[in-house]
């Protein structure tokens, strides 16, 4: 496979917040090894995985990917924070969407699973490593991503999730995290 291919957004990833169309152009060649992707398409490794196309699976050995996603969040947090400070809340949608995609990726990958947006609350309910009240807080953020309070909550979720990530590393250092 070379170049871009059109992929239907798999049912497991359907979400109007992350995908405005039913198809996405994606480069499978670029996703054979881990490299952080910024912005759209969100969840590129999962798009290929759920479409039964060959790609790297960052959730199988997630230490470097999670560290990279946490670093990317710091950049997005600064960008969104500046926009909120300038009272440009409507312009925060892109960094907030990307931040949410990073958080969901970390949550799932930390548990050695690809992101699965369909029935995400049921999936998260069984995860042992997650912030307190994750499902409730995420529901709020997903419903109102351009509110300042959503930005604050997203930042808190990242802080708490990073602690859970380090806790898992300490408790199971030989596993895939």
State the pLDDT confidence band at 36, using cuts at 50, 70 and 90.
confident
pLDDT digits (tens, 9 = 90+) for 124-138: 999 999 999 999 999
Alpha carbons 161 and 70: distance in angstroms, whole number: 10
List beta partners, residue 25: 6
Which pLDDT does position 96 carry in this prediction?
A: 97
What value does the mean pLDDT of the chain take?
93
Start-to-end C-alpha separation, the chain: 30
Q: Where does residue 127 fall: left (phi above 0), alpha (psi -120 to 50 degrees), or beta otherwise? A: beta
Segment (H or E) for 109: helix 93-109
User: Over the range 54-78, which residues count as b (16 or more CB within 10 Å of their CB) and which as e?
Assistant: ebbbbbeebeebbeebbebbeebbe
Alpha carbons 7 and 59: distance in angstroms, whole number: 21
State the pLDDT confidence band at 35, using cuts at 50, 70 and 90.
confident
pTM as predicted = 0.94
At 126, list the tokens: 């069984």
Helix (H, G, I), strand (E, B) or coil at 47: helix
């Amino acid at each position: 496979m070379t170049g871009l291919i059109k992929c239907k957004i798999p049912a497991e990833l359907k979400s109007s917040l992350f995908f405005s169309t039913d198809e996405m152009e994606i480069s499978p060649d670029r996703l054979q090894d881990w490299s952080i992707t910024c912005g759209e398409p969100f969840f590129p490794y999962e798009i290929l995985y759920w479409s039964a196309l060959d790609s790297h699976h960052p959730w199988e050995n997630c230490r470097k990917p999670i560290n990279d996603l946490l670093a990317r969040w710091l950049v997005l947090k600064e960008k969104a924070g500046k926009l909120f400070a300038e009272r440009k809340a409507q312009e925060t949608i892109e960094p907030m969407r990307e931040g949410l995609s990073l958080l969901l990726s970390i949550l799932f990958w930390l548990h050695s699973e690809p992101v699965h947006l369909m029935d995400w609350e049921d999936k998260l309910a069984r995860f042992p490593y997650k912030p307190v009240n994750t499902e409730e807080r995420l529901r709020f953020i997903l419903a109102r991503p351009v509110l300042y309070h959503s930005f604050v909550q997203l930042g808190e979720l990242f802080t708490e999730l990073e602690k859970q990530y380090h806790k898992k590393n300490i408790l199971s250092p030989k596993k895939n995290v």
